[in-house]
């Protein structure tokens, strides 16, 4: 089978971004297909081409039967090409650190007494389903372990998670390879989002006003927290020193996000509809040359959402909970982005989305919002229509197509700004 030559527009955008694979191998495979910058050689070896950078935006595990496989491939690529592979830690990756204590006599306070007194597999299932948003993670790990044909017990599933976090463990090593913030040119990458409460904030430290110095300090703090975890350090009251990292990657109690965290911040409203950072924060970022923020974490339909205002853009590129299999492709350079993906419309039609968008292209409809409906204009479809997206209550989404002449008659405005 002859492989089609890569699209030259992709090749001119040397930063390739993927996020939220969540243990689903097909997402990594589809991202690498016809990708001029990142390929899977012999099915298991992730190779980044010379001059390119691959950024993985976090959440490698939890919702598919290939979590260990995904982590192993990403970690091996980082070890082999550390200057070209950037790994961001997601909440689904970091929160597994909890298991070393919660499965060894320090269960979550909310765990019912009957579960506390039950077996380790029962406890782990409860933790996944009730405190990590990872329903099915136990069964997925069981399936991954059993994929070799060996008989696997529930206790061995528990052991596998603890082994991953022990000395030389796969997930422990992966987390040590990760960071929380990364900047390439005018683009800032974080897993969850940025808010005025998070930029400049490093837990238990004085605020850091310079944005680049803040990113460096936050990554250093993250590394210190992992060292404390590896050394089992406790404070004078017996609390793990690394508990601060657990709190940082989790939502604020009683809320669905954590505005003080780049891991669990959300660039979205209460229904997950994308929203821009507040104007003062956009101004702060622009003053230091950052004109684009790229995030994952929050589902945003089947293809990346680009949200724009006055020379600044937010790209939400989570690949989870979509209607289509596989992952979208996002390629970045300072002056433009290239997006390629698919979308399943509300009527069931499968459409292809593909566009290149210049940062200063104020005339484009992409990233604008229909004033009377709040629908985000995501991009052109290969059928000739335009894709409109809206997040709805109860985790539902709307994906519709609209003809160009009909869209031209609608009033378009700037996308909403987050609280």
pLDDT at 5: 55
Q: Give the phi and the psi of residue 406 in degrees, each rounded to 5.
A: -70, -40
- Residues written for the chain: 419
Helix (H, G, I), strand (E, B) or coil at 246: helix
Give how far Cα 222 sits from Cα of 217, 229, 252, 386, Å: 9, 11, 19, 42
317 Ramachandran zone, left/alpha/beta (phi>0; psi -120 to 50): alpha
Distances (CA, A) of 383 to 89, 306, 330, 400: 37, 20, 20, 13
* DSSP code, position 396: E
Which of 271-307 are b and which e, b meaning 16 or more Cβ less than 10 Å from the residue's Cβ? ebbbbbbeeebbebbeeeebbbbbbbbbbbbbbbbbb
Establish if 276 belongs to a structural domain. Answer: yes
Q: Whose CA is closest to 155, among 133, 163, 147?
A: 163
DSSP string across 254-272 = TSS--TT-TTT--SB-TT-
Is the four-CA dihedral 305, 310, 408, 390 of positive or negative sign? Answer: positive
CA 339 to CA 285: how far, in whole Å?
23
- What tokens were used for 54? 């691959």
Dihedral sign computed on CA atoms, order 339, 345, 346, 348:
negative
Q: Which residues contact 118 (CB under 8 A, 6 or more apart)?
A: none
Alpha helices in 210-317 (DSSP H): 211-230, 243-248, 279-287
- Report the candidate in 100, 99, 97, 73 with the shortest Cα–Cα distance to residue 87: 73
The one-digit pLDDT tens for each residue of the chain (419 residues) are: 344 455 678 999 999 999 999 999 999 999 999 999 999 999 899 999 999 999 999 999 999 999 999 999 999 999 999 999 999 999 999 999 999 999 999 999 999 999 999 999 999 999 999 999 999 999 999 999 999 898 999 999 999 999 999 999 999 999 999 999 999 999 999 999 999 999 999 999 999 999 999 999 999 999 999 999 999 999 999 999 999 999 999 999 999 999 999 999 999 999 999 999 999 999 999 999 999 999 999 999 999 999 999 899 999 999 999 999 999 999 999 999 999 999 999 999 999 999 999 999 999 999 999 999 999 999 999 999 999 999 999 989 999 999 999 999 999 988 778 76
Q: Residue 231 domain-assigned? A: yes
Instruction: Decide: helix, strand or coil at residue 277.
Output: coil
Distance of CA 216 to the CA centre of its chain: 20
What is the edge-to-edge ordering of all strands in the sheet holding 15-18? 85-87, 53-56, 15-18, 329-333, 336-344, 350-358
pLDDT at position 1: 35
- pLDDT confidence of residue 6: 55
Strands 85-87 and 181-184: unpaired
Tell me the β-bridge partners of 400. Answer: 388
Q: Which helix (H) or strand (E) holds 87?
A: strand 85-87
Find out whether 306 and 266 touch, Cβ atoms under 8 Å.
no
Count Cβ atoms below 10 Å from residue 347 Cβ, excluding itself: 8
Domain assignment present for residue 304? The answer is: yes
Tokens of 151: 């008989």
Q: Assess if residue 60 is contained within a domain.
A: yes
Q: Is residue 36 part of a domain?
A: yes
Say if 399 falls within a structural domain: no
**Residue 325: φ, ψ to 5°:** -80, 160
Instruction: Collect all residues with Cβ–Cβ distance below 8 Å to 229 and sequence separation of at least 6.
Output: 97, 100, 240, 242, 245
What CATH number does the domain containing 259 carry?
Answer: 3.60.21.10
What residue numbers bound the domain in which 226 lies?
8-90+178-364
Q: Domain for residue 360, yes or no?
A: yes
Is residue 191 a contact partner of residue 90, using CB atoms and an 8 Å limit?
A: yes
Is residue 91 within 8 A of residue 60, CB to CB? The reply is: no
Please count the structural domains in the chain.
1
412, with CB counted inside 10 A (0-12, 13-18, 19+), is middle
How would you classify the pairing of strands 292-295 and 396-402?
unpaired
Does any domain span residue 247?
A: yes
Helix axes 211-230, 170-177, angle to 10 degrees: 160
């Amino acid at each position: 089978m002859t492989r089609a030559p890569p699209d030259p527009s992709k090749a001119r955008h040397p930063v390739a971004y993927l996020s939220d694979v969540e243990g689903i191998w097909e997402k990594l495979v589809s991202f690498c297909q016809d990708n001029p910058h990142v390929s899977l050689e012999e099915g298991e070896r992730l190779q980044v081409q010379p001059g390119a950078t691959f950024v993985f935006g976090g959440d490698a595990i939890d919702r598919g039967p290939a979590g260990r496989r995904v982590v192993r491939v990403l970690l091996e690529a980082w070890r082999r090409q550390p200057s070209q592979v950037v790994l961001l830690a997601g909440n689904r990756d970091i929160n597994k650190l909890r298991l070393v204590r919660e499965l060894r006599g320090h269960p979550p306070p909310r765990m019912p007494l009957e579960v506390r007194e039950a077996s380790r597999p029962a406890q782990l299932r409860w933790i996944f389903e009730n405190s990590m948003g990872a329903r099915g993670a136990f069964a997925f790990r069981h399936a991954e372990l059993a994929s070799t044909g060996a008989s696997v017990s529930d206790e061995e599933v528990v052991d596998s998670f603890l082994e991953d976090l022990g000395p030389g463990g796969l997930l422990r090593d992966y987390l040590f390879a990760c960071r929380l913030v990364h900047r390439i040119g005018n683009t800032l990458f974080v897993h969850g989002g940025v808010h005025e409460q998070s930029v400049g904030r490093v837990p238990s430290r004085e605020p850091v006003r310079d944005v680049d110095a803040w990113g460096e300090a936050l990554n250093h703090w993250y590394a210190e927290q992992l060292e404390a975890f590896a050394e089992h350090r406790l404070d004078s009251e017996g609390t793990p020193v690394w508990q601060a990292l657990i709190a940082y990657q989790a939502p604020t109690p009683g809320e669905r996000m954590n505005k003080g965290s780049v891991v669990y911040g959300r660039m979205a409203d209460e229904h997950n509809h994308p929203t821009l950072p507040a104007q003062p924060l956009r101004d702060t970022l622009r003053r230091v040359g950052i004109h684009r923020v790229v995030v994952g974490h929050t589902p945003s339909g089947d293809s990346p959402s680009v949200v724009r205002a006055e020379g600044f853009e937010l790209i939400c590129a989570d690949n989870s909970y979509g209607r289509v299999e596989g992952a979208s492709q996002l390629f970045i350079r300072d002056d433009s982005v290239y997006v390629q993906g698919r979308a399943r419309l509300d009527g069931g039609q499968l459409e292809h989305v593909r566009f290149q968008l210049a940062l200063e292209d104020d005339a484009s409809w992409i990233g604008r919002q229909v004033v009377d409906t709040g629908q985000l204009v995501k991009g052109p479809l290969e059928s000739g229509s335009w894709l409109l997206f809206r997040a709805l209550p109860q985790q539902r989404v709307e994906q519709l197509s609209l003809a160009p002449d009909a869209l031209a008659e609608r009033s378009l405005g700037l996308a909403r700004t987050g609280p």
